[in-house]
């Protein structure tokens, strides 16, 4: 069993969905960038959010079993701005 820790910066944007009276603004995933370290993921999320192009950004780590292709739940490092709610 080979388990690796991956660090990710995930950004989000607002988008409009629907037409007419049903039109609404929703949050959608933008880019996901794999980083080498926890500090790099956190710094990148902060820079991308501070740049003003994104509604929000997450930095998180996940454990990946390379052989089985299993992924753990994310462990959040930082959550900035408008991000999806965490499921209970």
What is the mean predicted confidence (pLDDT) over 6-32? 92
Q: Can you give the residue ranges of every domain in the chain?
A: 3-81
pLDDT of residue 22: 82
Query: Each residue of 28-85: pLDDT tens digit?
Result: 999 999 999 999 999 999 999 999 999 999 999 999 998 888 999 999 999 999 999 9
Residue 24: HSE in the Cβ half-sphere, 13 Å Cα cutoff:
4
Q: Which residues pair with 25 in a beta bridge?
A: 16
Q: Which of 8-12, 15-19, 32-36, 44-48 has the lowest mean pLDDT?
A: 15-19
């Amino acid at each position: 069993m080979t388990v690796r820790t991956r660090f990710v910066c995930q950004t989000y944007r607002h988008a409009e969905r629907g037409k007419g009276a049903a039109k609404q603004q929703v949050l959608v995933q933008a880019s996901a960038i794999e980083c080498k370290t926890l500090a790099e993921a956190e710094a990148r999320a902060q820079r991308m959010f501070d740049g003003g192009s994104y509604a929000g950004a997450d930095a998180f780590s996940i454990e990946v079993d390379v052989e089985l292709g299993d992924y753990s739940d994310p462990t959040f490092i930082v959550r900035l701005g408008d991000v999806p709610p965490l499921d209970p």
